[in-house]
Each structure stands twice: as C-alpha cells, then as structure tokens.
Amino acid sequence: MSSNSFGKLFTVTTFGESHGPAIGCVIDGCPPGLPIAADRIEQQLQRRATGRSRHTSQRHEEDAVEILSGVFAGHSTGAPIALLVRNTDARSKDYRKIAEQFRPGHADWTYHKKYGIRDYQGGGRSSARETTMRVAAGAIARDYLATLGIQIRGYLAQIGPLRTDHTLQLDTVDDNPFFCPDPALVPELEAFMDKLRKSGDSVGARVNVIASGVPVGLGEPVYGKLDAEIAAAMMSINAVKGVEIGAGFAAVEQPGSVHRDEITPQGFLSNHAGGVLGGISSGQDILVSMVYKPTSSLRLPGKTINTDGEPVEIVTTGRHDPCVGIRATPIAEAMLALVLMDQYLRNRAQCGDVGIIKPDISQ
Ligand code: EPS
C-alpha cells in the first residue's frame, strides 16, 4: 500500500492498523530547536480521542505518545521525529462476524478488490484510528506555526439538520463534546444524538477550520496551490466527502461584483476567496469547510454480499461512532497545520528573500 506520506519539506509518514500493536508516524524536516514534549502532543490527542463522551465510540484508548527519536533535551534536533502510540483497547472479536462481508458505504469492498487481502479487524488501515497520528504530527506543526503568529481554530458547524446559526463563540469550542461554538445549540445536539444512537442509525456533519495570521505568499502554483493542497489534505481524512474554501459552492450564485473581494489601502473588504488567491495565501484568514458522511458501521440490518458474491444481510456490532464529525475538529485543524507548515518551509526555501521588482512599462 503506497501513499502513506504527506508533505514535501515537512514530510509525515503514518503507519499502523486499528487493531495492530501500535500506530505511529515519522516526521522528517522539522526545523531544529522547537520545544517538543509528549504531554503537549497528548493534549491534542485527548481532544480527538474516542470514549470521552457518550456520543462517540466507547473504545477507551490511552493514546499515550512515545517519542522515539529526533528530540534531545526537549527540542527537535532536525533528525526524523518518530512517534508511537500503542493500541490498548482493540476488541477484534466484534469483527469476526463480518470478516467475509462488506459493510455498504465502507472501504471494505474496495480494499478487498484492490489488494486481494484485507485486515477486517477494525477496518485495519482504513480505520479512523489512523487520524491519531495526523493529530500528533499536527500538534508539532501548530506549535511551530504559533511561533510565527499563525493560529488554527476549528469548530463543528452542523450535525444533520442542526446548524450553528448563532454568533460563534470560538472560545467555548472545547467546553462541550461536539466542538460546538454555539452553547445554546449544545442541548439540542445532545438530544439529537441520544435519539439517533438509540435508533442505531448514523448522521453526517460539517466542520469548519480557520487559520489566522497566515503571511502572504504560501502556495505554489500551479500544481501545489495552497487551496488544492488543503482540499487534498481534508479529503484524505476518513469520511470527508466535500471541501469548500471561502464561499465555496455558494460562489455559483454570487455575481462577480459580490464575489470579488475589493481591495483598499486598508485591506480587503470581504473574504469570499477564503484567504487564497491564485493558489497563494493573501494574508486574510484561510477559511475551510468540509462535510463528513454518515458512518457506515450500523447495527441496522442492510443488504450486502459476502466474499463469495452471495447476497447476505449485514449487521455491524461493536463500538462505533454514530457521527465521526463529532470528533473531527482536531483532525481538520491538524491537517490544515500540516499543509501550512509544509508550504511555509517551501515558501521560505524558494522566496525567502524576494523583493518586489517594478518592471519598466515605458517601452
Ligand atoms: C472506527 C471504529 C471504532 C472506533 C475507531 C474508528 O473502532 P473499533 O470498532 O475498531 O474498536 O473506536 O476509532 C478509534 C479507535 C480512534 O482512536 O479514533 C472505524 O471504523 O473507523
């Protein structure tokens, strides 16, 4: 299985399966001298972890991170940083019943057809467990970005029909299990999720992420555009089915006179572009929105086939998330941090000392 690495100068390779002994990552290209500590990474891991509320999977992983290399005296040395998280609460027997069946809507079918062999225990490599290591690597990236004044904040924008329509209070995002920035909506989300969980069904969600303090100039046209890499990063998260930058799909109904962000000496008058023009950061906030599909591991019976191609009824038991979007905010934040970190280093490498040249237009 190839393509387990991400980034060009800040390169992250993740490995491991949900029910294997451990998951991990290797980060290559971290600048030296950055303070790195396991407990700081674990703060981010705890935000993403399962079993922290009744609304997510009840698998109780410790999510303790071991730093195996690349850190000396509490600082990055410039050498590859290897991080390991041991799996401590996998319950593989839940999966034996569906070992020879394909969950509709899941990666089971395509993994089986593509590789000819499939780790059915917890979905193996296709499990959302893999996102742990994105968050671990992202924790290091966001600490580096913070030294440059770049801040990344995400929030849940919608679950099923329930949207955060009120004024956003981003300071309250970590005070509830949904990462919801609208405290008034939290009781409604609780009631909705309790009812949904009892029904055995699942639901989709929308998560938004904002990066502020991003300097002008990150992004490499034409194939390394900042928005293209952000979209690819978000689409690589399990269950993401759509990504928008700025106005996104709403742009289809906007006249150009509205969509364009007029410029004054004091700055832009709006941000429909979502902080990216021509694939390059404009210095405005980077605005990203993404949609998570409803989880496909359901205890409601459904039609499928088995590995012999025969029709069967499938029922998935075990400890599944009825809405993966609930704990997706830290993952989306981490992916945005990884893209910006990589693009920052790439911009410094090529354009670190660029000055503006005024061409002679008199001839
Ligand atoms: C997941 C199914 C559940 C979740 C898991 C993601 O695990 P399992 O059924 O294999 O025990 O708990 O999420 C995590 C363990 C995690 O750390 O995010 C899935 O099918 O993607």
User: Residue 195 is inside which H or E element, if any?
Assistant: helix 186-199
Residue 180 sits at φ, ψ, to 5 deg, of -90, 130
The answer as to whether 333 is a domain residue is yes
Q: Is the dihedral of CA 341, 342, 343, 349 positive or negative?
A: positive
Ligand 1 centroid vs 129 CA: distance in angstroms? Answer: 5
The pLDDT assigned to 245 comes to 98
Which secondary structure element, helix H or strand E, spans residue 227, and what is its range?
helix 226-235
pLDDT score of 171 more than 90: yes
Looking at residue 167, its pLDDT comes to 84
Atom 8 (ligand 1): residue with closest C-alpha?
122
pLDDT score for 165? 79
- Measured in Å, residue 341 CA sits from the centre of ligand 1 at 28
Residue 225 binned pLDDT confidence (cut-offs 50, 70, 90): very high
User: Which pLDDT score, from 0 to 100, does residue 55 have?
Assistant: 97
Task: State mean pLDDT over 353-363.
Answer: 89
* C-beta neighbour count of 75 within 10 angstroms: 14
Whether the Cβ atoms of residue 63 and residue 49 lie closer than 8 Å to each other: yes
Q: Is residue 79 part of a domain?
A: yes
Q: What is the mean pLDDT of the chain?
A: 97
**Nearest C-alpha neighbor of 15 from the set 7, 4, 6:** 4
Measured in whole angstroms, the distance separating CA 194 from the mean position of its chain's CA atoms is 25
| C-alpha span between 358 and 264 (Å, rounded) | 20
The average pLDDT across 265-289 equals 98
Candidate from 129, 240, 316 with most ligand 1 atoms within 8 A of CB, to mutate: 129
Q: Considering the domain boundaries, does residue 129 fall inside one?
A: yes
d(CA 41, CA 119): 28
Q: Quote the ligand 1 centre to 184 CA distance (angstroms).
A: 29
The pLDDT value recorded for residue 52 is 95
CATH number at residue 10: 3.60.150.10
Residue nearest to atom 14 of ligand 1 (CA): 129
* Interatomic CA distance for residues 27 and 29, integer angstroms: 7
Question: Which ligand 1 atom is the nearest neighbour of the CA of 90?
Answer: 11
Compute the average pLDDT of residues 266-281.
98
Question: Ligand 1 centroid vs 52 CA: distance in angstroms?
Answer: 13
Residues lining ligand 1, CB < 6 A? 18, 50, 57, 59, 61, 90-91, 122-123, 127-129, 132, 297, 318-320
Separation CA 254–CA 248 (nearest Å): 11
The backbone torsions φ and ψ at residue 195, rounded to the nearest 5 degrees and listed phi first, read: -65, -45
In a domain, 356, yes or no: no
pLDDT tens digits, residue range 124-152?
999 999 999 999 999 999 999 999 999 99
pLDDT computed for residue 37 by the predictor: 98
Q: Is residue 362 part of a domain?
A: no
**Residue 285: inside a domain, yes or no?**
yes
pLDDT for the residue 251: 98
Q: How sure is the predictor about 266, in pLDDT bands with cuts at 50, 70 and 90?
A: very high
Atom of ligand 1 minimally distant from the CA of 57: 12
3-state secondary structure of 302: strand
What is the tally of structural domains in the chain? 1
* Domain extent at residue 225: 5-351
- pLDDT of 31 over the 90 cut: yes
Alpha-carbon distance of 47 to 185, in angstroms, equals: 20
Beta-carbon contacts of residue 109 (< 8 Å; ≥ 6 apart): 102
Ligand 1 pocket mutation, candidates 59, 108, 118, 299, criterion most atoms within 8 A of CB? 59
Q: What is the pLDDT of residue 166?
A: 72
280 CA to centre of ligand 1 in angstroms: 36
Contact between residue 155 and residue 167 where contact means Cβ atoms under 8 Å apart: no
Inside any domain, residue 27: yes
Query: Which ligand 1 atom is at minimum distance from the Cα of 59?
Result: 12
Residues 6+ apart with CB under 8 A from 175: 183
The pTM of this model reads 0.98
How far is it, in rounded angstroms, from Cα 160 to Cα 47?
22
Residue 360 lies in a domain: no
pLDDT at residue 1 above 90?
no
Among 235, 242, 282, 244, smallest CA distance to 262 is for 282
Query: 47, 2 in Cβ contact below 8 A?
Result: no
